[in-house]
Amino acid sequence: MAEMRIGVVGAGILGLAIARRLAATRPGAQVTVLDKEARVAAHQTGHNSGVAHAGLYYAPGSLKATLCRRGIGLLKDYCAEKGLPYEECGKVVVARDAAELGPLDEIERRATANGVPGLRRLTGAELREIEPHAAGVAALHSPTTAIVDYPAVARAFAADVTAAGGEVRLGFEVVRLGRAGDRVRVGSPDEELVFDRLIVCAGLQSDRVARLAGDASGPAIVPFRGEYYRLVPSRTDLVRGLIYPVPDPRYPFLGVHFTRRVDGGVDVGPNAVLALAREGYRRRDVRPADLWETLTFPGFRHLARRHWRTGAKELYGSAVKRAFVAQARGFVPELTADDVVAAPAGVRAQAVDPDGSLVDDFRIGRAGPVVTVRNAPSPAATSSLAIAEHVTDAL
């Protein structure tokens, strides 16, 4: 009997986690990961904040909530097994004034329903015991929120795939997908492979690859660049762990926050501005075809009409450093513009429905022998091992 051939498009942390589980649980299968880049974790996995989320924000019962809570435990155990950094530095979600107490109550309700351990509501004075330089009237403390090195985790996943007999093919850009009976043909500019099953985890290109696979329905990706500043080394003592705002419930973005990294640095950000290329990490990165696709997508036009004021505010913060710092100073009043320097940006693959709705929960589809991961934003890295269980169990 011929062995099953399973392909995974995308060598980010999610694609590699899925391939790893397939290689471990399907010993008769040949698992191949395909990615157009020369290294794993080249995009969202390698440009995120490095936070392992405990599950505070997500609607109870949602895929995000369920898979985040399962995923953080699996991730912690995996990092311990592999000797990878995993630091439970804790996180405070800070209400700056009385108007934010109601939304903070809702976060506490959700976190409690999701089974987040060790939660504690703090007064302003108690907040300063944990984060001496932070300011707020109240906060919610999550001591098990952690920081990790996601590119290192992704590289370990890739090593697990090859150790189990699978293959990670880098420099393979998927430009064609087609059906050959009940199989799938996957083509690069130079080569064609045939698989019995295919899983698409293409991140910033996920909607395009899904359409190639015949999954035409579903959201489109609108890329948002998240820009960061970094505390200068002499000022990293301003932040002990993670300091987050109470998020605006209208948006899946969490707002400008302070994030300690496993290397000891502290990042401030991100904002959320429209990227002018799918992989546009710098302001000067412009790809006309990508920008045209975004601007002509009806969902983006609906989104822009509804939220142009917020977009204008984000652009102003992007262009004017003191405006960006002023947002952050609402949580750490001692912060000055001299305390931060520019840091590398990331690009979020934000899925948007045709009516302009921002897709919040994970969205996973199926088109015959192809499984398409159409939306996997934060906490996808935290949840990667649990998402891998979810996807492979459904194959």
Q: What's the pLDDT tens digit per position in 295-353? A: 999 999 999 999 888 888 888 888 899 999 999 999 999 999 999 999 999 999 999 99
pLDDT of residue 218 exceeding 90: no
Number of domains in the chain: 3
Whether residue 80 is contained in a domain is answered as no
Question: Quick one: 376 and 352 in the same domain?
Answer: no
Q: Confidence class of residue 217 from pLDDT cuts 50, 70 and 90?
A: confident
Q: How many CB atoms lie within 10 A of CB 35?
A: 28
Domain endpoint, select from 143, 165, 186: 143
Whether residue 109 is contained in a domain is answered as yes
Whether residue 75 is contained in a domain is answered as no
Domain endpoint, select from 99, 117, 143: 143
**pTM of the complete model:** 0.95
Question: Quick one: 344 and 250 in the same domain?
Answer: yes
Q: Confidence class of residue 87 from pLDDT cuts 50, 70 and 90?
A: very high
Burial class (CB in 10 A: 0-12, 13-18, 19+), 313: middle
Question: Quick one: 174 and 191 in the same domain?
Answer: yes
The per-residue pLDDT for 181 is: 84
Question: Quick one: 233 and 307 in the same domain?
Answer: yes
Whether residue 232 is contained in a domain is answered as yes
The per-residue pLDDT for 310 is: 84
The per-residue pLDDT for 395 is: 78
CA–CA gap between residue 129 and residue 387 (Å, rounded): 36
Q: What is the mean pLDDT of residues 106-110?
A: 97
Question: Quick one: 267 and 333 in the same domain?
Answer: yes
Q: What is the mean pLDDT of residues 282-305?
A: 95
The per-residue pLDDT for 1 is: 44
- Give the HSE-up count for residue 75: Cα atoms under 13 Å, Cβ half-sphere: 38
The per-residue pLDDT for 251 is: 62
Question: Which amino acid appears at position 80 of this protein?
Answer: A
For the stretch 54-85, what's the b/e string if a residue is b when 16 or more beta carbons lie within 10 angstroms of its beta carbon? bbbbbeeeebbbbbbbbbbebbbebbeeeebe
Q: Confidence class of residue 160 from pLDDT cuts 50, 70 and 90?
A: very high
Whether residue 300 is contained in a domain is answered as yes
Nearest to 218 by CA among 372, 395, 66: 372
Query: Residues in the chain, how many?
Result: 395
Whether residue 72 is contained in a domain is answered as no
CA–CA gap between residue 158 and residue 155 (Å, rounded): 5
Q: What is the mean pLDDT of residues 208-230?
A: 91
Residue range of the domain that includes 198? 4-46+151-219+360-394
Q: How far is it between the farthest Cα atoms of the chain?
A: 68
pLDDT of residue 252 exceeding 60: no
Q: Is 358 strand, coil or helix?
A: strand
Question: Quick one: 250 and 379 in the same domain?
Answer: no
- Give the HSE-up count for residue 159: Cα atoms under 13 Å, Cβ half-sphere: 7
Residue 375 pairs in a beta bridge with 363
pLDDT of residue 100 exceeding 60: yes
The per-residue pLDDT for 253 is: 61
Percentage of the chain with pLDDT > 90?
A: 87
Question: Quick one: 249 and 104 in the same domain?
Answer: no
pLDDT of residue 123 exceeding 90: yes
Q: Confidence class of residue 168 from pLDDT cuts 50, 70 and 90?
A: very high
Percentage of the chain with pLDDT > 70?
A: 98
Question: Quick one: 232 and 301 in the same domain?
Answer: yes
Nearest to 139 by CA among 110, 100, 87, 113: 100
Instruction: For residue 181, give every residue at least 6 positions away whose Cβ sits within 8 Å of its Cβ, in sequence order, or none.
Output: none
Instruction: For residue 293, give every residue at least 6 positions away whose Cβ sits within 8 Å of its Cβ, in sequence order, or none.
Output: 220
For the chain, how big is the Rg over CA atoms in Å?
A: 21
Question: Quick one: 294 and 366 in the same domain?
Answer: no
Question: Quick one: 311 and 260 in the same domain?
Answer: yes
The per-residue pLDDT for 256 is: 87
Whether residue 294 is contained in a domain is answered as yes
pLDDT of residue 109 exceeding 60: yes
Residue 15 pairs in a beta bridge with none
Q: Is 61 left (phi over 0), alpha (psi -120 to 50) or beta?
A: left
Lowest mean pLDDT among 15-19, 113-117, 153-157, 322-326: 322-326
pLDDT of residue 169 exceeding 80: yes
Question: Quick one: 344 and 260 in the same domain?
Answer: yes
The per-residue pLDDT for 246 is: 94
Q: What is the mean pLDDT of residues 268-288?
A: 95
Residue 187 belongs to domain with CATH number? 3.50.50.60
Question: Quick one: 102 and 123 in the same domain?
Answer: yes
Q: What is the mean pLDDT of residues 369-376?
A: 93
Whether residue 331 is contained in a domain is answered as yes
Domain endpoint, select from 127, 143, 159: 143
